[in-house]
Amino acid sequence: MLTLGIETSCDETGVALYDGDRGLLEHRVYSQIATHAEYGGVVPELASRDHVRKTLPLIQELLHGARIARSEIGGVAYTAGPGLVGALLVGAAVGRSLAWSLGVPAVAIHHMEGHLLAPLLEPDPPAFPFVALLVSGGHSQLVEVAGLGRYKLLGDSLDDAAGEAFDKTAKLLGLPYPGGPELARLAEQGDSGRFRFPRPMTDRPGLEFSFSGLKTFALNTLDAVRREEGEISAQSRADIARAFEQAVVETLVIKCRRAVKQARCQRLVLAGGVSANRRLRAAMTEAMQKEGVRTDYPRAEFCTDNGAMIAHAGWLRLKAGERSGLGFGARPRWPLEEMRPPGGSGEW
């Protein structure tokens, strides 16, 4: 079934076409970075308005690029949550009404399910079961994945998500939004031996995360350096970025090692925006190799928000017979543990 996927949960409009036989045919992402940059973060109302402007033209561009006629679409998948309510409603309204007008089924997709299945879009995809580390702007979670919709939460974030900690620390360092990739770039020039940040919650058992203390640690380090140097040098900023990144990466590696042992699982999947981080990917792959665990992650463009992961998750659910009713809605807060294997029809 040729499935159109629509992602509008935050600040990216993503659309894609996924087909059971031919795989991913085409995808497009429109990033709203330029819209939000001057405010230093996502402005929800501006995000919704931009999705209103961009979603339909982007779908048209997608179909044109793939040389696919609208009538060939066999199903429509849209992100229904979690995310910004106004932004979600745009994708849900477009997706649901498009499906209705074409006379094809629609399915509401959980954004984090899209992320955690994104590594399956790669050649030689990992088989179930696996442990997934979901690290994005809103989530840091460890999930045991037995199959589609069979998720057991192993650990969650107690405060700031990993991506949020990257973004907030980047802001302290005077970097523009979105901070994560900017901080990672700055860290390339940093000396890893100069500062040592804590590895939060690794000194006790458990799989919970807490990253908000790292931001405070960065602030205090900046203050100390400022007292010493007056103006903070470019090298000091890079050294702080490096120490912060190192602390997040090592903390995630320690928790993942624990998680695969606890779940007795030989496969680990990284997903979500922060999994685009090169040091995280390299350190995790090396650490897991030592444990005999295979590590998979999506190509960089499918780590951050995109339509391909939604088209793919939608295709899996539609193929299994799941159908959404004629109503639609958005679930800004939608715990991943509420997901179930595909089945029946959901009323929205």
Provide the binding-site residues for Zn ion, judged by CB under 5 A.
Answer: 136, 305
Name which of 166 and 211 has its Cβ closer to ligand KG4: 166
| Shortest Å, Cβ 272 to ligand KG4 | 4
| Shortest Å, Cβ 177 to Zn ion | 16
| 3, 32, 277, 295: residue in contact with ligand KG4 (rule CB under 6 A) | 277
| 136, 140, 157, 169: residue in contact with ligand KG4 (rule CB under 6 A) | 136
Of 160-168, 195-203, 207-215, 222-230: span binding ligand KG4 (CB under 6 A): 160-168
| 5, 81, 91, 138: residue in contact with ligand KG4 (rule CB under 6 A) | 138
CA pair distance 29, 307, nearest whole angstrom: 7
| 10, 59, 106, 339: residue in contact with ligand KG4 (rule CB under 6 A) | 10
Q: Which does 79 bind (CB under 5 to 8 A by kind): Zn ion, ligand KG4, none?
A: none
Partnered with residue 269 across adjacent β-strands are 132, 296
Name which of 49 and 171 has its Cβ closer to ligand KG4: 171
SS3 percent helix, strand, coil of the chain, rounded to 5, is: 45, 20, 35
Q: Residue 38: helix, strand or coil by DSSP?
A: coil
Strands laid side by side in the 294-296 sheet: 150-155, 140-147, 130-135, 267-271, 294-296
Q: Judge contact between 251 and 209, C-beta under 8 A.
A: yes
| Shortest Å, Cβ 11 to Zn ion | 10
Residue 261 neighbours by CB distance under 10 Å: 12
Q: Residue 205: helix, strand or coil by DSSP?
A: coil
Give phi and psi for 166, each to the nearest 5: -60, -50
CA pair distance 14, 111, nearest whole angstrom: 12
Name which of 164 and 239 has its Cβ closer to Zn ion: 164
CA pair distance 313, 315, nearest whole angstrom: 5
| Two tokens, residue 36 | 């939000």
Q: Write out the binding residues for ligand KG4, residues 176-195 only, by CB under 6 A.
A: 178-181, 184
Q: Which does 178 bind (CB under 5 to 8 A by kind): Zn ion, ligand KG4, none?
A: ligand KG4
Of 67-75, 96-104, 172-180, 231-239: span binding ligand KG4 (CB under 6 A): 172-180
The answer to whether 14 contacts ligand KG4 (rule: CB under 6 A) is: no
CA pair distance 287, 285, nearest whole angstrom: 6
Q: Write out the binding residues for ligand KG4, residues 201-240 only, by CB under 6 A.
A: none
Q: Judge contact between 150 and 127, C-beta under 8 A.
A: no
Q: Write out the residues near ligand KG4 by the rule CB under 6 A.
A: 10, 136-138, 163, 166-167, 178-181, 184, 272-274, 276-277, 304-305
